[in-house]
């Protein structure tokens, strides 16, 4: 009797379980693109976010290719985490993993730095003297933080005398937190700014200004403090609409902005920062032109976050692959801004921070650039033309306090390109944007490294 009651129910029960299993199987299914048969030699210089994310996709797209990745760095750094480390929310090891943890099998990892790239001979030479010939080259070296350009500053000073350097690495970010934590206990003058070169994550200097303000307020020392932001030019952010919003927030938080200040030196002993301001011309209502000559200014501080000029690594600057008439002296790779393909050497691509394109030096940009390079590279191997276009997408969860951020996304044309239009407003300080930065970003980044996003 009981059995009779049960049997149809059990069938329904099993049916449900089967449905669930089918759903989960669907989730695991891979896109069914047949791998391209090739003997091509592909060399990727750099195993950061860009190189690693790309190589994990190339091994799925190419069958038989000899893929070599060249990088002497043993540690992989999750750089978007540096701000969280420097805000005391994560430990230094939050951003550290092993380069080898992310590299797929079947790829040759040359554990040495590239010393020379010869695009004519199609050859990369390592510091150790190993010569690697290629048919296709992807330059993904990242950039160089030019600490030497800040006179009087050295990284061993970080953590003392109110000196911070969030960009320098996970350990330096942690030391910066120690200095910021100490500073915010008592308050004083906090000085922030950004370099005059292209830079990665242009929002980071702003975030750290907001975070320091937040800690001062939480510790009740904001009234006894002054926050100065020394902008390198006449703006706070390159995207006009974001610039206006940041200006409003700076006003709201009581930050003092000094424009046209380019950091040139630091005196740790006297806690003084030196700046150069360029020559300026102003015209009054009577048409009289006043020329203010270039000058040196100094600002004394109790705490600062030093951000140096950012340039291409020497190996790229000396390769003949860099722009000569754009970003003079910075050495970014001369690529087409839509395809990321080198403008003079069709078998060379630039990916990530090194690419000489406006904007685009963030991990979010890399996420959008990888499929573009993948497409054009695989198409070239097949003897076809690629179709994917990079539109300059960059994203920045601009933290405005612990617990809130503005999700700012834009493209080459300075258009806002919200991922969640109508749901997450781009220029609003929201908790959900903070949640994305704190929880979802690193997993998304890791998924990108694995070639899955």
Partner 1 sequence: MKQLTFETLIAVFEEIFGRGLFWTMVAVAVVVTLAYLYVLIRDRHLSARKFLLAQMFMPLGAIASVIFVQRVTHSSFADIGGPVDWIVLLGVAGAGAVGTAILVYTVQSLTKGRQTAE
To partner 1, the closest distance from the beta carbon of 453 in angstroms equals 5
Place of tokens 């210089």: 45
To partner 1, the closest distance from the beta carbon of 151 in angstroms equals 37
To partner 1, the closest distance from the beta carbon of 305 in angstroms equals 20
Q: Which is nearer to partner 1, 131 or 439 (CB)?
A: 439
With beta carbons less than 8 A apart as the criterion, state whether 227 and 111 touch.
Answer: no
Q: Which is nearer to partner 1, 3 or 285 (CB)?
A: 3
- The order of strands in the sheet holding 348-350 is 108-110, 66-70, 41-45, 136-139, 348-350
Q: Which is nearer to partner 1, 105 or 286 (CB)?
A: 105
- Say how far apart CA 84 and CA 173 lie, in whole Å: 9
To partner 1, the closest distance from the beta carbon of 79 in angstroms equals 16
Q: Which is nearer to partner 1, 243 or 446 (CB)?
A: 446
Residues 6+ apart with CB under 8 A from 28: none
Q: Which is nearer to partner 1, 158 or 430 (CB)?
A: 430
N-to-C CA span, the chain = 54
- Say how far apart CA 349 and CA 334 lie, in whole Å: 9
- In a 13 Å sphere around the CA of 255, the CA atoms on its Cβ side amount to 29
Q: Which is nearer to partner 1, 316 or 355 (CB)?
A: 355
- Say how far apart CA 176 and CA 409 lie, in whole Å: 27
Which token pair is 319?
A: 């390769």
Which token pair is 178?
A: 């120690």
To partner 1, the closest distance from the beta carbon of 438 in angstroms equals 5
To partner 1, the closest distance from the beta carbon of 208 in angstroms equals 16
To partner 1, the closest distance from the beta carbon of 44 in angstroms equals 20
b/e per residue, 270-302, with b = 16+ CB within 10 A? Answer: ebbbbbbbeeeeeeeeeeeeeeeeeeeeebebb
Q: Which is nearer to partner 1, 19 or 251 (CB)?
A: 19
Q: Which is nearer to partner 1, 124 or 357 (CB)?
A: 357
Q: Which is nearer to partner 1, 1 or 289 (CB)?
A: 1
To partner 1, the closest distance from the beta carbon of 402 in angstroms equals 6
To partner 1, the closest distance from the beta carbon of 432 in angstroms equals 5
Closest by Cα among 249, 265, 210, 206 to 231: 206
- Say how far apart CA 314 and CA 209 lie, in whole Å: 31
With beta carbons less than 8 A apart as the criterion, state whether 418 and 447 touch.
Answer: no
Q: Contact positions toward partner 1, by CB under 8 A?
A: 5-6, 9, 12-13, 16-17, 20, 26-30, 89, 367-368, 371, 393, 401-404, 419, 423-425, 428-432, 434-435, 438-440, 442-444, 446-447, 450, 452-453
To partner 1, the closest distance from the beta carbon of 173 in angstroms equals 16
The DSSP-derived string for 261-284 is -EEEEEETTTTEEEEEE--EEEE-
Beta-strand relationship, 295-300 and 272-277: antiparallel
The enclosing H or E element of 303 equals: strand 303-305
To partner 1, the closest distance from the beta carbon of 371 in angstroms equals 7
Q: Which is nearer to partner 1, 61 or 144 (CB)?
A: 61
Residues 6+ apart with CB under 8 A from 156: none
The dihedrals phi and psi of 404, each to the nearest 5 degrees, come to -140, 145
Q: Which is nearer to partner 1, 174 or 266 (CB)?
A: 174
- Say how far apart CA 134 and CA 152 lie, in whole Å: 42
């Amino acid at each position: 009797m009981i059995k009779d009651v049960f049997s149809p129910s059990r069938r329904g029960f099993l049916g449900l379980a089967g449905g669930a299993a089918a759903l989960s199987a669907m989730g695991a299914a891979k896109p069914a693109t047949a791998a391209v048969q090739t003997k091509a030699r592909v060399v990727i210089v750099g195993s950061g976010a860009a190189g690693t994310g790309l190589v994990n996709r190339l091994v799925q797209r190419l069958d038989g290719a000899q893929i070599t990745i060249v990088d002497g760095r043993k540690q992989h750094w999750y750089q978007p985490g540096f701000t969280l480390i420097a805000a005391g929310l994560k430990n230094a090891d939050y951003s550290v993993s092993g380069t080898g943890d992310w590299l797929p099998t079947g790829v040759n990892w040359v554990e040495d730095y590239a010393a020379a790239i010869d695009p004519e001979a199609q050859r990369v030479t390592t510091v150790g003297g190993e010569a690697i010939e290629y048919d296709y080259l992807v330059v993904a070296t990242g950039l160089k933080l030019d600490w030497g350009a800040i006179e009087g500053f050295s990284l061993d000073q970080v953590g003392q005398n109110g000196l911070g350097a969030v960009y320098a690495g996970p350990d330096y970010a942690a030391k910066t937190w120690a200095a910021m934590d100490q500073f915010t206990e008592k308050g004083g003058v906090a000085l922030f700014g950004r370099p005059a070169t292209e830079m990665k994550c242009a929002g980071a200097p702003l975030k750290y200004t907001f975070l320091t303000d937040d800690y001062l307020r939480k510790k009740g020392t904001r009234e006894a403090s002054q926050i100065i932001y020394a902008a390198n030019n006449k703006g706070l952010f390159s995207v006009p609409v974001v610039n206006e919003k940041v200006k409003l927030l700076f006003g709201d938080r009581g930050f003092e902005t000094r424009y046209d200040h380019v950091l040139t030196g630091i005196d740790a002993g006297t806690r003084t920062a030196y700046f150069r301001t360029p020559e300026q011309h102003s015209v009054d209502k009577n048409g009289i032109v006043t020329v203010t000559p270039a000058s040196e200014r100094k600002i004394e501080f109790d705490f600062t976050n030093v951000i140096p000029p950012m340039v291409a690594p020497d190996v790229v600057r000396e390769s003949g692959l860099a722009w000569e008439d754009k970003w003079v002296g910075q050495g970014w790779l001369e690529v087409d801004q839509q395809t990321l393909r080198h403008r003079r050497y069709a078998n060379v691509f630039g990916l990530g921070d090194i690419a000489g394109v406006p904007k685009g030096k963030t991990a979010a940009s890399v996420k959008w650039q990888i499929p573009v390079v993948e497409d054009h590279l695989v198409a070239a191997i097949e003897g076809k033309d690629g179709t994917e276009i990079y539109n300059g997408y960059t994203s920045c969860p601009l933290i405005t306090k612990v617990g809130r951020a503005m999700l700012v996304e834009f493209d080459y044309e300075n258009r806002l390109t919200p991922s969640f239009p109508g749901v997450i407003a781009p220029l609003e300080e929201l908790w959900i944007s903070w949640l994305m930065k704190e929880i979802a970003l690193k997993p998304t980044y890791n998924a990108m490294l694995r070639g899955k996003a």
